[in-house]
Amino acid sequence: MKVGVCFTPNSFNFNLSQMDLVSSLKAVSNLIEKMDKGFVTFLKSNDFDEHAATEVYKQVDSLDAGAIMSLLYDQQMNKASTIPRNEPEVNTIVNAASPVYNSLWLSLYSYDIQKTLTTAANRTIHSEKSLVHYCSEVLVNITRSHNEYAEAFIQIYQNLLFLDNPQNSSNKTFDSIRKIEGGYTCFIKGITECLSYMNSYEIIPHDSHRNIANLNASLTFALTPEGTGKNKRQLKALKRDFLINGIEYKNVNCEYHYKLERIDGANGNGTYFYNRIYFGFFNRIDEEAPQIAIAHIGEHL
């Protein structure tokens, strides 16, 4: 089960000024281009096209109809498949207890962050951040294999770098989820909450201390640099070689770790577990725009 984002006649306001309408359509085009990677499917109701064309050509005196229609049909919006459901039918599906359509958990897109189109507010998508949160919810509610979780993390949390280096004999990937103590299905909410927050966190360049403090203050469990075990490890034990766009970046420091101490919903009680998300701050492509590099999700190293 993955995520569907559906456009309906209420998704956009075609009575906006040309500048504002173009801006809203470019924003959604950017969202599709970034998030249409496998976990998210973009759809449109079967009354969307007629509504859009009617509204645009009603305003030919104030809108460049050709430019607007190009944004709707010649660019990223063209990836949205038309489904055999009109807006009221789509609304019924999305507002159901289980919003399932063709193996997708359905949601609605709204260009206006102040306008909620669904009974459950989280099923109205306004931005990348709200879409990522909704995808995270689906990961928590629909159990899947550890391999499927790992694949979904890469497709959803696209502002993060995940260790992917097939040519490295020891550390090929970030995914040790299957080795999580206590069973990976019991920690998915903790993992997705961490990744979701990191995905939208704006890193302060050249200040790991403040970044760790900020992340630690906002997340459920402790997030720290390597502690007393640091002196017992071999040199480079928590450094990883990342392969990014065909270029290998060696010895990325990934000593920072998020402690997945309790199973989901334990509220600080019960068995303590030694599961970890190890990561680092990667700035070798652009020093002023660093990213969080996820080296390991699994057992304590």
Question: Any idea where the domains of the chain sit in the sequence?
Answer: 2-141, 146-299
pTM: 0.94
Question: Half-sphere exposure (CA, 13 Å, Cβ side) for 135?
Answer: 32
**Backbone φ and ψ of 258, nearest 5°:** -100, 125
25: helix, strand or coil: helix
| Residue where the block lists tokens 């034990």 | 237
Q: Enumerate residues 6+ apart whose C-beta is below 8 A from 271.
A: 182, 262, 263
* CA distance linking residue 29 with residue 103, whole number of Å: 24
Q: What is the pLDDT of residue 62?
A: 75
Regions of the chain where pLDDT drops below 70: 227-235
Q: What is the pLDDT of residue 15?
A: 92
Work out the burial of residue 31: count CB atoms within 10 Å of its CB; fewer than 13 is exposed, 13-18 middle, 19 or more buried. Answer: buried
Q: What is the pLDDT of residue 188?
A: 98
**Given this structure, which CATH class describes domain 2-141?**
alpha beta
